[in-house]
Chains A and B, each alone.
Chain A
Amino acid sequence: MIIEIGAFCLILSLILSVAQVGLSVFGRIRRSAVFYGAGEGAAGAAFLMVLIAFAALIYAFVTSDFSVANVAANSHSAKPILYKVAGVWGSHEGSMLLWCLALTGFGAIVALMARGLPAAMKSVVVASQGALGVLFLAYTVFASNPFMRLLEPPAEGQSLNPLLQDPALAFHPPFLYGGYVGFSIVFSFAIAALIEGRVDAAWARWVRPWSLAAWSLLTVGITLGAFWAYYELGWGGWWFWDPVENASFMPWLIGTALLHSAVVTEKRGALPGWTVFLALGSFTFSMLGAFLVRSGVLTSVHAFAVDPERGILLLTILGLAAGTGFSLFAWRAPKLAPGGLFAPISREGALVINNLILSAATVTVLLGTLYPLIKEALTGQSLSVGTPYFNLTFAPLMALAFLVLPIGPLLSWKRGDGLGALQRLWAAAGLAVMVALLVLWFQKPTHVAASVGMGLGVWLIVGVFVEIAERIHLGRASPAEVRRRLGGLPRGAWGMSLAHAGLGIFTLGACFETAYKIEAAQALSVSQSISVGAYQVQLSDVVSANGPNYIAERGLVTVTKNGEPVCDAKPERRFYPANSQTTSEVALCLEGLDDVYLVLGERRVGSEDQPAWLVRAYWNPLARLIFLGPLLMALGGAVSLSDRRLRFAAPRRAADAGAVAVPAE
């Protein structure tokens, strides 16, 4: 019965979304407060209905109701409760329902909580969000309904892929989808701006918090996914330039560009058309990702349950939504008032260069992902575009962006002093060059790209400190004044500093780990050992260790360094009978910021017919920075979001005062 309620509510939410569009559009035409209100009410109700449907599906998974096809295909009665719940979004159908939940949820927040927004513009936002809701809910109801019953329910489910039964991956999709779908609100704001012909500082202040929130969620989502790949797939890789990863990375890159261009539009009223374009682009790339991942047009390590027919439908949705958005842009954008003027060397100019490079980087990722398809369609030849391509194209573009990054915040708006900014960065430049040379000198084998990368990481991090020191007049004003200024720095400034420093920290980790990780593998009998880097890894014993839904061998491994004990690790090799699948539970010994990474492999026959296990050990230096950096970036986003300027009521005050925001300094 609960399942039928879920199915019913899902259909109801589709109908309510249709009503949301109709009422809001009619209200906008008549400028009628009653219809505005009705449209907003429908948005809230649509969300409530999807929420009930979602709860019903969770209920089905928790109670292991195998008469529901989706539960039977993705759950198992012996699965731990966390993974029963996570199984809800572990399948195509369930994840689309999560997508719809986020879509209607964000729509409801705007409809019911954004009180300061001009009524006409708000009604267009609500209508646009409703229209997106109609598209995706219709898809879910008609082509991907998670509530389908089975005529003959099986006694046991097929279980979730054991690789996905992992805490990082349980929380990865909600964050990721929060990010993807968060950009839908930005998209709707862009549609509203184009229809109302109004892109100004107040509009940009509405868009900023949403793009910040979406971007931060997406950052966390991608990081969780990378961390999962790092320790679950068992070879220590964390990014493969795989189409599915690229699908999540493209909206992130465009979202990053949007964050920066929205600042220019908010503070200076400049680049309004470009900001709207990026706002449309961010959600377009999110939808493109949803299509690429689910359609099977690309082969990927993380292949989703692929279905070409659904792929066509998703492509249609993508075409309808993005086509409408960009047609509207082509028609209306030329009418937008041009923004303020600025010299090439200025804060605006630096942000334009940021946007230029990020756009080029997005195109690079897009091209690298789709080029094999294009080439095959045009010439019939198949070719591969893999990591080496991105190392040669994406990495230099980023290096260029990193080079410019610390200079931007030191330039003033409108017309900046480029030479002065560079002079203030002498310390950062000196340290960066020194670190790069030290790495080049001491780390063997010589790896020029990694050394340059380490230098750039230091340049970014020290650049952040220089920027803060400049803002608080360190060394120029009295200590009391410096303290006062430090206390008076807006949260937005701290957020920016955290994000930029996080990028630097990530760069340090990524370059160093990739260039200097050490790998060792040996078939070990009990009490034999291998060395990896400075560490000795001894296999003390192998015991059996069975879990709720798997059986496992557990290696008891002792790691020592120069005879000193470092840690006891317990890597496992698990067998899940429900999927007849074997997985490795990697053991990580955290040593400072480095990881000693241990994998227990297959059992072999060793010397003297003793059983032996293939033990692989990696030393991944500075590996933790790779995940710490992006989390700092997301934290920076959250701190910025808490800035008073970006609270929901703030834009109205700004609009009422008729003020174009005051520059930060």
Chain B
Amino acid sequence: MKPLGLTGLILAAVLCMGAAADPSERLADPVLEARAKALFPEIRCMVCQNESIDDSQAELAVDLRKIVREEVAAGRTDTQVRSYLVQRYGEYVMLKPAFSLTNAALWVTPFAIVFLGLIGFFGLKRSSLDHAQETALTSEEQALLVKLQASEAK
């Protein structure tokens, strides 16, 4: 969030705020329109600077929204619409990377760190505690403890 010295690039971003809400683009059927709208945030406006077609009004975003709406209106499922776009524009168009083997590092790492970390933490702790097994108090220590607790209570 450091929007200092924004370049003119943001100009495009701003002229087009909330573009997807433009009434002239909407589908007549509210159910289909809702499905199309739900897809927009997943799709990248490829000429924009890291924006979804939900936010942008660059010409390409307008075109992409049109394509998505047409596909949805033509009865395609969400998955079909997505694969159609990927086929046409490449993986770059999807803001959500595919769950594929090549992207395994991306998807698995966050959870692997926590999982392995927890195993390591609880495992190591257990063994280190075994080594440093606290021995039971001697009778003298026990007496001292009772005395201290008594003085604390006063």
Determine the residue in chain A with the shortest Cβ distance to B117: A356
Interface of B is mostly: helix
Determine the residue in chain A with the shortest Cβ distance to B6: A161
Q: Specify which of B14, B22, B48, B121 is in contact with A163 (CB 8 Å cutoff).
A: B14
Q: Specify which of A343, A356, A396 is in contact with B125 (CB 8 Å cutoff).
A: A343
B7 touches A306 (CB 8 A): yes
Give complex CA distance A575, B11 in Å: 12
Q: What's the minimum C-beta distance from A222 to chain B, rounded to whole angstroms?
A: 6
Q: Is B153 an interface residue (CB 8 A)?
A: no
Instruction: Report the stretch among B60-68, B103-111, B139-147 that lies at the interface.
Output: B103-111
Q: Is B149 an interface residue (CB 8 A)?
A: no
* CB neighbours of A371 from chain B (8 A): 97, 105-106
Q: Is B126 an interface residue (CB 8 A)?
A: yes
A301 touches B49 (CB 8 A): yes
Q: What's the minimum C-beta distance from A118 to chain B, rounded to whole angstroms?
A: 31
* CB neighbours of A392 from chain B (8 A): 96
Number of A-B residue pairs with CB-CB distance less than 8 Å in the complex they form? 210
B10 touches A90 (CB 8 A): no
A583 touches B94 (CB 8 A): no
- A304-331 vs B, CB cutoff 8 Å, 1 = contact: the mask equals 1110000000000000000000000000
Determine the residue in chain A with the shortest Cβ distance to B1: A225
Q: Is A303 an interface residue (CB 8 A)?
A: yes
* CB neighbours of B51 from chain A (8 A): 240, 301
Q: Specify which of A233, A243, A364, A397 is in contact with B17 (CB 8 Å cutoff).
A: A233
* CB neighbours of B135 from chain A (8 A): none
Task: Known A161-B10, A344-B125, A521-B18; judge A304-B5 contact (CB<8 A).
Answer: yes
Q: Is A14 an interface residue (CB 8 A)?
A: no
| Interface residues of B, count at CB 8 A | 56
Give complex CA distance A451, B110 in Å: 23
Give complex CA distance A211, B51 in Å: 34
Q: Specify which of B5, B10, B22, B106 is in contact with A367 (CB 8 Å cutoff).
A: B106
Q: What's the minimum C-beta distance from B7 to chain A, rounded to whole angstroms?
A: 5
B3 touches A164 (CB 8 A): yes
A242 touches B121 (CB 8 A): no
A303 touches B132 (CB 8 A): no
B23 touches A95 (CB 8 A): no
Q: Specify which of A228, A344, A364, A523 is in contact with B109 (CB 8 Å cutoff).
A: A364
Give complex CA distance A497, B113 in Å: 28
B14 touches A303 (CB 8 A): no
Q: Specify which of B22, B102, B110 is in contact with A360 (CB 8 Å cutoff).
A: B110
A344 touches B96 (CB 8 A): no
Q: Is A245 an interface residue (CB 8 A)?
A: yes
Q: What's the minimum C-beta distance from A501 to chain B, rounded to whole angstroms?
A: 23
Give complex CA distance A289, B4 in Å: 13
Q: What's the minimum C-beta distance from B108 to chain A, rounded to whole angstroms?
A: 10
Q: What's the minimum C-beta distance from A405 to chain B, rounded to whole angstroms?
A: 15
B18 touches A236 (CB 8 A): yes
* CB neighbours of A228 from chain B (8 A): 1, 3
* CB neighbours of B13 from chain A (8 A): 233, 301
Give complex CA distance A249, B1 in Å: 8
* CB neighbours of B110 from chain A (8 A): 360-361, 363-364, 367, 393-394, 397
B52 touches A386 (CB 8 A): yes
Q: Is A383 an interface residue (CB 8 A)?
A: yes
* CB neighbours of B125 from chain A (8 A): 342-344, 349
* CB neighbours of A364 from chain B (8 A): 109-110
Could you say which of B5, B8, B50, B91 has the most chain A C-beta atoms within 10 Å of its C-beta?
B5
Complex A-B: 7 CB contacts under 8 Å: A95-B4, A228-B1, A303-B10, A383-B94, A386-B44, A389-B106, A396-B111
Interface residues in chain B, defined as those with a beta carbon under 8 Å from any beta carbon in chain A: 1-11, 13-15, 17-18, 21-24, 41-42, 44, 48-52, 55, 90-97, 102-103, 105-107, 109-111, 113-114, 117-118, 121-122, 125-126, 128-129, 132
The 8 closest A-B pairs by CB, nearest first: A386-B95, A225-B1, A388-B96, A521-B21, A234-B17, A302-B3, A360-B113, A235-B18
- 12 further interface pairs, Cβ-Cβ under 8 Å (given A356-B118, A384-B94): A91-B4, A164-B6, A169-B3, A302-B10, A342-B125, A356-B113, A360-B114, A379-B102, A389-B96, A393-B111, A394-B110, A397-B114
